Amino acid sequence: MYKLVPNFPLKHHNSFGLDVSASYWLTIESTEDWNSAIAQYPHLLQEKRLIVGAGTNLLFMRDFDGLVISPDFFGYSIAYQDDQIVELEVGAGVEWDDLVAHCVKNGWFGVENLSLIPGKVGAAPVQNIGAYGVEVADVIVKVNCLNLENTEFKSFNNDQCHFNYRTSIFKEKYLNQLMVTTVVFRLQKQGKIFTGYGDLEKSVRELGVPSLENVRRAVILTRESKLPDPKVLGNAGSFFKNPVVTEEVAAALEDLLSGLPVYQLIDGFVKVGAGFLIEQAGWKGRKLGHAAVHDMQALVLVNRGGASGQEILALSQAIQLDVLEKYGVKLEPEVQLVEG
Ligand code: EPU
């Protein structure tokens, strides 16, 4: 059954905790629900549209004058398995970390490094979530979607998703048009853990054997030590992407800033640590109105309580300008700005 609510408060549906509302909120549990809702309320098709998971990567500029859709598709089913792999189809509305816990409990490798990322399964392919050396694109076989404009189904294999660093075809070409219904993940039964990122190997060793469970525990401990819990302090994880620059630019920056984290990409490009740049520019822990830069991770902007989206945006723009002036690097937001 679908549920349509007018004038819906979004405070508990955006992890910045911004006090905004939507003209309409629609919860659907199946594609038939969407068909029924638009048959009964055809004007919904004319409304501006926003599909939300848990709202953990959104920055609302003001009240949303349109339709917000929450796809509550639940459940897990095994689409295929053999001695080596299992292909698991998961509903878009499942909490991401419940999926990770489920896989680790069953001894399936592939998503353990992505433990404790806030949000829902449906959003994972949209922004190609990633952490500790793994991206969800590495384990996705298929993304099933409903086209909200013509009610057609469409299935995308991994190549067709055009995955890239924190983006995909669903975020670029089809944002708020294609709604992810289920995602099929390929997990390994005899997999290997990956602890090559930062201090992860050391953190795992401190917990004991290098097992799937210990990778999950180590990632959870690391995240909890650096990233603020959105239930306590509103935030949307990394506010900016780590910028991609040429090897020459990266080398010049490394001369200027010793210790700059750099990650070599293909084709002569290098990703550099935005958090490091922001910290070096003196922004870590700084406050601007009700917004602030987190004091443990400079890539994370927080709502100190009662902030507006405009205030958080103003802080982000001040940081962008300063980093551009000091280091010549343009920071791009990772969070999705939502105009009203
Ligand atoms: N660093 C600083 N100062 C800071 C923050 C980071 O010096 O204030 C340094 C750290 O010391 C470390 C390096 O920068 O050497 C990398 O830091 P970290 O491991 O915290 O990762 P990140 O590059 O800042 C990215 C992702 C995170 C993900 C972590 C771990 C992006 C935009 N962010 O952050 O993802 O959890 O790696 O893999 O790629 C998110 O997307 O919302 C997110 C939290």
**Total domain count, the chain:** 3
Whether the predicted pLDDT of 267 surpasses 90? no
3-class SS letters over 201-228: HHHHHHHCCCCHHHHHHHHHHHHHHHCC
**234: pLDDT strictly greater than 90:** yes
Residues 33 and 87 both lie in one domain: no
18 shares its domain with 96: no
- pTM for the structure as a whole: 0.97
Q: What is the pLDDT of residue 266?
A: 84
Ligand 1 and 299: CB distance under 6 A: yes
With respect to residue 221, please indicate whether it lies within any of the assigned structural domains: no
Identify the pLDDT of residue 97: 98
Q: Is 286 in the pocket of ligand 1 (CB under 6 A)?
A: no
Domain assignment present for 206: no
Distance of CA 179 to the CA centre of its chain: 16
- 91-100 tens-digit pLDDT: 999 999 999 9
Pair of tokens at residue 21: 């509302």
Q: Inform me whether the pLDDT recorded for 239 exceeds 90.
A: yes
Q: Would you list the DSSP string of 88-147?
A: EEEETTSBHHHHHHHHHHHT-BSSGGGTT--SBTTHHHHTT-EETTEEGGGTEEEEEEEE
Which amino acid is located at 207 in the chain?
Answer: L
Ligand 1 midpoint to CA 41 (Å): 44
List, for residues 181-223, the tens digit of each pLDDT value.
999 999 999 999 999 999 999 999 999 999 999 999 999 999 9
Task: Say if ligand 1 is within 6 A of residue 261 CB.
Answer: yes
Nearest CA to ligand 1 atom 15: 261
Q: Are the CB atoms for 263 and 270 separated by under 8 Å?
A: yes
Domain CATH for 238: 3.90.78.10
Q: Are residues 60 and 85 in the same domain?
A: no
The reported pLDDT for the residue numbered 21 is: 98
Whether 210 maps to a domain, the answer reads no
Query: Residue 77 has what pLDDT?
Result: 98
244 & 157 share domain:
no
Minimum CA distance residue for ligand 1 atom 34? 238
For residue 120, the domain's CATH number is 3.30.465.10
Average pLDDT of the chain to the nearest whole number: 97
Residue 239 in contact with ligand 1 by CB distance below 6 A: no
On whether both 80 and 66 belong to a single domain, the answer is no
Answer yes or no: is 238 within a domain. Answer: yes
144 and 182, same structural domain?
Answer: yes
* Same domain, yes or no: 102 and 166: yes
Atom of ligand 1 nearest to the CA of 241: 32
Q: Is residue 172 located within the same domain as residue 101?
A: yes
Q: Give me the CATH number covering residue 44.
A: 3.30.43.10
Residues 86-111 have a mean pLDDT of 98
CA-nearest of 130, 125, 127 to 155 is 125
Same domain for 65 and 97, yes or no, is no
Among protein residues, the one whose CA lies closest to atom 9 of ligand 1: 276
Task: Write the pLDDT tens digit of every residue in 22-61.
Answer: 999 999 999 999 999 999 999 999 999 999 999 999 999 9
Q: In angstroms, rounded to a whole number, what is the distance separating the alpha carbons of residues 260 and 249? A: 12
Domain that holds residue 119: 76-188
Residue 199 domain-assigned?
no
Alpha-helical (H) ranges within the chain are 31-40, 96-106, 123-126, 169-172, 200-207, 212-226, 247-256, 274-280, 309-327
> Model confidence at 112, in pLDDT bands (50, 70, 90)?
very high
The neighbour count for residue 208, using CB atoms within 10 Å, is 10
Pocket test for ligand 1, best of 240, 276, 277, 336 (most atoms within 8 A of CB): 276
User: Domain for residue 207, yes or no?
Assistant: no
Q: How far apart are the first and last CA of the chain?
A: 28
Per-residue pLDDT at 340: 83
Q: Has residue 204 been placed in a domain?
A: no
Catalytic residues: 166, 238, 334
Q: Is residue 110 located within the same domain as residue 51?
A: no
Mean predicted confidence (pLDDT) in 73-81 = 97
Q: Which of 39, 71, 103 is the last residue before a domain boundary?
A: 71
- In angstroms, what CA-CA distances link 312 with 10, 48, 119, 242, 319? 17, 23, 20, 19, 11
Same domain, 58 and 83: no
Strand order in the sheet with 300-303: 234-238, 300-303, 291-293, 287-288
Other Cβ atoms less than 10 A from the Cβ of 188: the count is 15
CA angle, corner 251, sides to 247 and 256, nearest 5? 150
Residues 320 and 333 in one domain: yes
For residue 49, which of 36, 67, 63 has the smallest C-alpha distance? 67
Residue 219 domain-assigned (yes or no): no
- Ligand 1, atom 26, residue with closest C-alpha: 131
Mean pLDDT across 126-145: 98
